[in-house]
Structure 1
Amino acid sequence: MRDVPGDGKRLSYYQFGSTALFASQYDQRFSYCLHVPRGYSEDDERRYPLVVAVHGTARTVQTCRDEFAGFCEEHDCVVLAPLFPAGIGEPGELSNYKYISYRGIRYDHVLLAMIEEVAGIWRVDAGRFLLTGFSGGGQFAHRFTYLHPERLRAVSIGAPGVVTLLDEEHPWWVGVGDLEERFGRALDLDALRRVAVHLVVGGADTDTWEITVTPDSPRYQPGADLQGANRIDRITALALGFERHGVPVRLEIVPGAIHEREPLIPSTLAFFHTVLSGQ
């Protein structure tokens, strides 16, 4: 066991390096794991930058964490990977977390509670963090950004299948027109313009079988066709929406990459490097 000066808590072996999965004390249906760098010091009061990596539909949460472990060692930061299990509220349900709110569960609140819990154990900078997600995680990440831009230094959104455009003429989830009515938070464009936004997708990510939203789809809304047909169309539409509102965006299309996370990770890591190095 190791002592953390000043807070009276003791950290175990499994709370350093690539950690165990811990149940969230806010809601134990959800859990998280971390990578805490080897250079983490228990002898000073510094706060370590925090990277939050959100899984896709397959919930490979520890893989998401491990993909950023080397980066966290190099940049002396901590990565948090939340787990939002499938089947919460309905057996077999896969997509609830992607849309932020589902049957009374606010997934943004679940994540923020995890971050607060982590900040009470490890010395992380929980005020403004870096957020990333691929596919379903990219859906969560960009919608979280609309709701909580003041909490983010940067966001890297990877190949989301269905997007919510920065469009105040359409209600959620197609747009953000009823954000305050639905979530109790008004759109804060000034805060959003201070977030470094990165969008990345594979140049061969053109399959539509999983992401087509038709009038008979459970989540269909008028205006769903505004986002385009495939993930390249949709991330491009997302970028244009940000740019029209004065939010600087870096859009990367990785040549030859299909809908796989691994080929996109280097782009996210390079982007986060520029953020943490002040470039």
Structure 2
Amino acid sequence: MNQPVELKTIERGHALYDLGATAMFACKADPRFHYCLYVPPCVGQGGKVDLLVAVHGTSRTSFLDFRDGFSAFGRWNDCAILCPVFPVGVRGDDNRSGYKYIAEGDIRYDRVLIAMVAEVAAKYGQDWSRFAMFGFSGGGHFTHRFAILHPERLWAASIGASGSVTLLDPNRDWWVGIRDLKQRFGIDFNAAALRQVPVQMLVGDADLETWEITHKPGGTYWMEGANDAGRTRPERLESLRRSFEAAGVQVRFDLLPGVSHDRMKALGKVQDFLAAVLKSRRER
């Protein structure tokens, strides 16, 4: 029996815009923020997959690089890719970096991301109560801070070339340390939960420019200790590694030879890490 034309149209639209490389969607919880996905074809037949959230850097253009760059990985490893978009200047002030530090005015970017995940999990009938997260540069900022605040939501975290880092220092306030997490975010630091998250940190050994990452008095994110973790991105990520490992977190550290601040040259190592974590996770 032939299907009604209306039903065929609905199914065709679903295949075109909701599966594979999807359209761009506004987040229902806060339509100022958007996302797109790569959804493996098996989901269209009721398949169950895992989720990777891939967070863009300051330019915001990398969300498409990540959606498309992880698409083959997602298809063959049964993993959907969610790429949020946090625009510049959401509050009308041209701020490029608000999302990197989780809170900006009354916006909590961690809550926006959690709402996005809940939205797409419901849409596709998936259990994405835990997911993996990767971010490079500005996305690396977001990823490691999200892991500090919400480790129980992650099955893996890959932190790429973060320009500034939040150390697990109970003697300094956010964003340099974590002393005031409870007052600022209403969240107690859960070291035991973070120890359960496989963590990768990666940066190119030639990623040495400092013009964008050196904090100066009067800057939006200036505070005492802002530059103490190191001068360059490799130095700062090494400080973050030591901080996490001192808290008992196991960290895979990849220093990429001859690589500067190039997100695409990091993706192979990220996929190797995530594939290994998925294999171990599914064998349990």
**TM-score of the pair, normalised by structure 1:** 0.94
Q: Please tell me the residue identity of whatever aligns with 1:271.
A: F
1:107-126 superposed matches below 5 A? 107-126=109-128
2:50 is matched with 49
Structure 2 match to 1:22: 25
Contact 1:50 1:125 in 2 (8 A): no
Matched, 1:92 2:91: no
Q: Give unpaired runs (5+ residues) of structure 2.
A: 1-9
User: How far did 1:38 drift?
Assistant: 2.1
Aligned to 1:74, which of 62, 73, 76?
A: 76
How many angstroms does 1:90 deviate by?
2.7
> Aligned letter for 1:202?
G
Displacement of 1:221: 1.0
In structure 1, give the amino acid aligned to 2:38.
H
- For residues 1-279 of structure 1, the aligned pairs below 5 Å read 1-2=10-11, 11-43=14-46, 47-60=48-61, 61-278=63-280
Query: Secondary structure in 2 aligned to 1:232?
Result: helix
SS in 1 for 2:269: helix
RMSD: 1.5
TM-score, normalised to structure 2, is: 0.92
> Per the alignment, do residues 41 and 16 of structure 1 end up closer, same or farther by CA in structure 2, a change over 3 Å counting?
closer
Q: Which moved more, 1:202-211 or 1:31-40?
A: 31-40
CA contact under 8 A between 2:43 and 2:124: conserved in structure 1?
Answer: no
| Partner Cα distance (2:15, 2:258) in 1 | 44
Q: 2:88–2:94: 8 Å Cα contact kept in structure 1?
A: yes
Please list the CA deviations of residues 83-128 of structure 1 after superposition, one character each: whole Å capped at 9, or x if unmatched.
Answer: 1011111342100100000010000000000000001111333111
Moved over 3 A (4+): none
Q: Distance in 1 between matches of 2:66 and 2:200?
A: 18
Q: SS at 2:234's partner residue? A: helix
Any conservation in 2 of the 1:59–1:84 contact (CA below 8 Å)? yes
For structure 1, the 5+ residue unaligned runs are: 4-9
Q: Alpha-carbon deviation of 1:12?
A: 4.9
1:7 aligned partner: none
2-structure distance, mates of 1:110, 1:275: 26
CA shift at 1:67, angstroms? 1.1
State how far apart, in whole Å, the 1-side matches of 2:150 and 2:279 are.
23
- Identity, % of aligned pairs? 45
Contact 1:78–1:124 (Cα < 8 Å) also in 2:
no
CA separation in 2, counterparts of 1:50 and 1:232? 28
Deviation of residue 248 (structure 1)?
A: 0.6
Count of paired positions: 271
- Deviation (angstroms), 1:219: 1.3
Equivalent pair of 1:86/1:92 in contact (CA under 8 Å): yes
Q: What is the deviation of 1:47?
A: 3.0
1:41 offset after TM fit, Å? 4.3
